[in-house]
Amino acid sequence: MTNNKPTRRVAIVGTGLIGASWAALFLAKGLDVVATDPAPNAEARLKEFVASAWPALARLGLSPGASQLNLKFTTDLAEALANVDIVQENGPERIDFKQKLYEQLDELLAPEVIIASSSSGLTMSEIQKGAKTHPERCVIGHPFNPPHLIPLTEIVGGAKTSEATIQRVEEFYTSIGQKTVRVKKELPGHVANRLQSAVAREVYYLVAEGVVSAADVDTALCWGPGLRWGIMGNMMLNHLGGGPGGIEHFFQQFAGPMTAWWKTLGAPALTADVQKMLIDSVHAEVGSRSIEELETERDELLISLVELRNKRAQIAASHKAAAE
Ligand SMILES: NC(=O)c1ccc[n+]([C@@H]2O[C@H](COP(=O)([O-])OP(=O)(O)OC[C@H]3O[C@@H](n4cnc5c(N)ncnc54)[C@H](O)[C@@H]3O)[C@@H](O)[C@H]2O)c1
């Protein structure tokens, strides 16, 4: 399957939390979006979301031609899929639902149209069993919530996904500014959610064991490793953690102590009592602040960090171009 046609028109199937956010991002990148969702008021909710996300997207930089007016909505699946170049599917996270939907998508779409699923927990090998004729064009394109602000997409193929599909979808996401990660083996939670889950397990353990409060464990995370993780990942930071000797020296120094700590890491049982303790500790940390206030604070800092990182990337690219 080859296709060199530029991607201009995207279908969003399912406009809940993730679909609406993808739609806003695609519009900001100057693409035409046609969305479909059978839920009552779906169109109004989608347009409201896109309007509310637009100021942040404008701050991060709109592509030429970007407009909220390039969004069309229909409850008719066939109409939504007509003449699209790619589908981003964000329906409910149930395998029976997705397989049935993929059967319909596969029948309605031309064979070269990629179907990317946002699924967080299902494997493409299972989902694509629904696509009877062209399973090779089905792939996971898993975003991080909210996709219009967090520029990460994990790409995972299933047993029947073609290499051409993986390459084309990677090019598409990269072309709209996403950082892509190619996950080479199907695993529950892909990669980024597994990383979060590993940290969450220890966080819950430390709070449940009374080692720290929720407030203190969050301080330890976001003012320590979290600050660095927003800039460089574990592997690169380990390289710097070894000083002038780099990663080789890091392992000489820390391989022993680190593997000894691993043996003491927790595996808490999230019983009703443990959950109650964690919930009480979180409420003590939150105090009187509303969810809206906390969301505003998170988004403001997040946008500032993404802006800063984009600016640094542009400077690095112009230095590289000047050196060539
Ligand atoms: N919530 C997250 O943090 C998150 C993050 C990354 C990926 N995902 C994945 O994104 C997908 C959607 O998750 P969500 O959180 O947006 O769920 P959601 O419940 O908010 O949205 C699902 C939408 O699908 C719609 N829908 C139902 N039947 C449909 C049909 N036949 N055709 C089109 N749309 C239909 C529903 O009306 C609903 O609006 C899931 O696969 C999930 O794993 C979720």
What confidence score (pLDDT) does residue 74 get? 98
CATH for the stretch 193-287:
1.10.1040.10
What confidence score (pLDDT) does residue 320 get? 87
SS3 320: helix
Q: Which residues pair with 157 in a beta bridge?
A: 139
Measured in angstroms, how far is the CA atom of residue 148 from the centroid of ligand 1? 15
What confidence score (pLDDT) does residue 92 get? 98
Distance CA 78, CA 136 (A): 21
SS3 10: strand
Let me know if the fold of 9-183 is the same as that of 193-287: no
Q: How many CA atoms lie within 13 A of 45 on its CB side?
A: 15
Give residue-wise pLDDT tens across range 130-169. Answer: 999 999 999 999 999 999 999 999 999 999 999 999 999 9
Tell me how far CA of residue 73 lies from CA of 25, 36, 192, in angstroms.
16, 6, 31
List the domain boundaries for the chain: 9-183, 193-287
Distance CA 272, CA 289 (A): 25
What is the pLDDT confidence band of residue 198, given thresholds at 50, 70 and 90? very high
Distance CA 127, CA 163 (A): 17
Measured in angstroms, how far is the CA atom of residue 156 from the centroid of ligand 1? 18
Tell me how far CA of residue 222 lies from CA of 105, 216, 217, 283, in angstroms.
42, 10, 9, 18
SS3 150: coil
CATH for the stretch 9-183:
3.40.50.720
Token reading at 125: 């090998």
Pocket test for ligand 1, best of 37, 100, 149 (most atoms within 8 A of CB): 37
Q: Whole-number mean pLDDT of the chain?
A: 96
Question: What percent of the chain clears pLDDT 90, i.e. is strictly above it?
Answer: 94
Q: In ligand 1, which atom is closest to the CA atom of 92?
A: 22
Question: What percent of the chain clears pLDDT 70, i.e. is strictly above it?
Answer: 99
Measured in angstroms, how far is the CA atom of residue 312 from the centroid of ligand 1? 34
Measured in angstroms, how far is the CA atom of residue 119 from the centroid of ligand 1? 8
* Residue 254 buriedness (CB in 10 A; 0-12 / 13-18 / 19+): middle
Backbone angles phi, psi at 33, to 5 degrees: -125, 130
Name the amino acid, one letter, at 111.
P
Closest by CA to 23, choosing from 56, 62, 61, 70, is 70
Nearest CA residue ID for atom 25, ligand 1: 14
Say how far residue 95 (Cα) sits from the centre of its chain.
Answer: 20
Contacts of 167 (CB under 8 A, 6+ apart): none
Name the amino acid, one letter, at 2.
T
What is the pLDDT confidence band of residue 43, given thresholds at 50, 70 and 90? very high
Pocket test for ligand 1, best of 12, 13, 15, 17 (most atoms within 8 A of CB): 17
Q: In ligand 1, which atom is closest to the CA atom of 20?
A: 16
Helix (H) or strand (E) holding 163: helix 163-175
Measured in angstroms, how far is the CA atom of residue 94 from the centroid of ligand 1? 10
Token reading at 6: 């530029």
CB 111 within 8 A of CB 1: yes
CB 89 within 8 A of CB 80: no
Q: In ligand 1, which atom is closest to the CA atom of 36?
A: 33
CB 148 within 8 A of CB 25: yes
Measured in angstroms, how far is the CA atom of residue 103 from the centroid of ligand 1? 18
Pocket test for ligand 1, best of 117, 120, 152 (most atoms within 8 A of CB): 120
Measured in angstroms, how far is the CA atom of residue 45 from the centroid of ligand 1? 14
Tell me how far CA of residue 223 lies from CA of 218, 219, 226, 230, in angstroms.
8, 6, 6, 11
What average pLDDT score do residues 204-211 get?
Answer: 97
Closest by CA to 45, choosing from 65, 25, 19, 67, is 19
Q: Pocket residues for ligand 1 (CB within 6 Å)?
A: 13-19, 36-39, 90-93, 101, 118-121, 142-143, 145
Measured in angstroms, how far is the CA atom of residue 240 from the centroid of ligand 1? 40
What confidence score (pLDDT) does residue 1 get? 44
Distance CA 278, CA 299 (A): 24
Residue 221 has pLDDT above 80, yes or no: yes
Distance CA 104, CA 317 (A): 43
Residue 47 has pLDDT above 60, yes or no: yes
Nearest CA residue ID for atom 41, ligand 1: 119
